[in-house]
Structure 1
Amino acid sequence: MTAHKGPVEIVLVYQSLLGIYGDRGNAMVLLKRLQWRGIEAKLTIVEPGDPLPASGSVYLLGGGEDAAQVSAVRLLKTDGSLFRALDAGAVLFAVCAGYQICGTTFTIGERDEVIEGLGLLDVETRRGPERAVGEILSRWRRPDGTETLLTGFENHGGFTTLGPDAAPLATVEIGVGNANDGTEGAVQGRVIGSYPHGPNLARNPDLADHLLQLALDTELEPLERPEIDELHRQRVEFVRRNARR
């Protein structure tokens, strides 16, 4: 593994707007998995009105309501640092509302007003025929071709469709996912969007390590944490046993 110059910076973006579902936990997971490997890391929390650093390795967007989504898009576009960081090789992991605003457009309110997103993912989100609420289980194919099961809790009224430039993150075994079309999340370059909370990365350590490897552009040594593997196994078993009918 090659050495990383300076601490790995995890940037948690606009918690007061996009942090209502405990998605802050994704940052804690990334920090801990770096620290367990002896890699220096730091957490930068940015709130509306603060300048967003362009020096981060991984940026995190979480869940929020309609008004928060609109505010976050406006602020991020005005600031511009997220775009510069991605151009420089950073990774963005966006969950639920954060995922939706990364697309080209999304809708808000009872009148389904169409809002222009950040344009980082070739996806569009519109109000779905029903709200997706409950445990979700999907299959993620890793870059090496092996498969990992991803678990989480989805709670979204928007249904997301992918354009040709975005690829699904995973295929759904149980749950709704993007639009009840068998796909969950989206990947485009170093931008990854996904619906599940949990927090997502606490429930899916393999995905957490994938984000870190993308950001560091290197293979990380495996972590021997049997208690985490057992917890993941139990979650998968629980979802399958209590699958929505």
Structure 2
Amino acid sequence: MSHKIVVVYQSLLGIYGDRGNGMVLAKRLQWRDLDAEVVNVEPGEPVPDDGLIYLLGGGEDLAQIAAVKALEADGGLHRGLDAGGVLFAVCAGYQLCGHSFTVGDNDEVFGGLGLLDVETRRGSERAVGEILTHWTRPDGTEDLITGFENHGGFTSLGSDATPFASVEVGVGNGTDGHDGAVQDRVIGLYPHGPILPRNPALADHLLELALGTKLEPIDRPELNAEHERLRQERIRIVRTTRNRAEQTR
């Protein structure tokens, strides 16, 4: 059986290269000798209801509105989640998973998919730049996540959603010192660019959540070492840049 990684509406929600998240998930399955394929679905095409993981990326205001309308009309994403799929949404994709979000200079409110108990409204400042967050894994250990954020909306969580990570550098949700939200089998975060190539542990977490089992480490020592070297270098650069900025204030 081939595991489907479904990239949803790349033409609307893919302006930051977020389809790369799908490529990473499929490759990390294949490296473990598990069949995987990336399925790209565009508006007007049916969203398969047998996906392992569904991906929503970043997009502009009008694209965000069009994506919500198309997904509601299609219904495949909701059926896929009901069947046990996992949804990973970033930036605009994260916002449209909530109950509502605003767009445009007049802050017009639009209804979201209602998959996360969150609301998004225009923030006091635009969040643009590197973000560094602290994520607690299911086993209780802590990991650092790096990414790039570029959003004008700030997101507030309701009682049914749980923050994903705490922010060390950057803005994230902009309302609570955290980035992202988790509810059932839906995870939304602000960093994109894409985020999973930067954070292999997060990619494996999504796969384990979808498969319902603990995955063995990938037996590629040189690749794993290079991933970790690059990750630590990004963390160092983000912290150094933050410290320099604070010293010049």
Indicate the percent of aligned positions where both proteins have the same amino acid: 66
Contact 2:156 2:175 (C-alpha < 8 Å) held by counterparts: no
2:140 aligned residue:
145
Contact 2:155 2:175 (C-alpha < 8 Å) held by counterparts: no
What displacement does 1:180 show?
4.9
1:241 aligned residue:
240
Look up the equivalent residue of 2:119 and give its one-letter code: E
For residues 138-162 of structure 1, the C-alpha deviation after alignment (integer angstroms, 9 at most, x for no partner) is 0000000000000001000000010
Match of 2:162 among 153, 158, 167: 167
The alignment status of 1:65 with 2:64, answered yes or no, reads no
For 2:70 and 2:58, the matched residues in 1 are separated by 16
Q: Spell out structure 1 runs of 4+ moving beyond 6 A.
A: none
1:133 aligned residue:
128
Q: How does 1:116-127 map to 2 (within 5 A)?
A: 116-127=111-122
2:98 aligned residue:
103
For 2:52 and 2:97, the matched residues in 1 are separated by 18
Look up the equivalent residue of 1:135 and give its one-letter code: E
Look up the equivalent residue of 1:169 and give its one-letter code: F
Q: Indicate the RMSD between aligned Cα atoms, in angstroms.
A: 0.9
For 1:179 and 1:232, the matched residues in 2 are separated by 24
Contact 2:162 2:181 (C-alpha < 8 Å) held by counterparts: yes
3-state SS, counterpart of residue 56 of structure 1: coil
What displacement does 1:198 show?
2.7
After TM superposition, the score normalised by the length of structure 2 is 0.95
Q: How does 1:49-60 map to 2 (within 5 A)?
A: 49-60=44-55
After TM superposition, the score normalised by the length of structure 1 is 0.96
For 1:139 and 1:220, the matched residues in 2 are separated by 22
What displacement does 1:181 show?
2.6
Contact 2:48 2:76 (C-alpha < 8 Å) held by counterparts: yes
3-state SS, counterpart of residue 149 of structure 2: strand
2:186 aligned residue:
191
For residues 52-78 of structure 1, the C-alpha deviation after alignment (integer angstroms, 9 at most, x for no partner) is 100100000000011001100000001
| Number of aligned residues | 240
Give ranges in structure 2 of 5+ residues lacking alignment.
none
Look up the equivalent residue of 1:82 and give its one-letter code: L
Match of 2:75 among 58, 64, 80: 80
1:3 aligned residue:
none
What displacement does 1:184 show?
0.3
1:13 aligned residue:
8
Q: Which piece of structure 1 moves more, 172-181 or 133-142?
A: 172-181
1:178 aligned residue:
173
3-state SS, counterpart of residue 168 of structure 1: strand
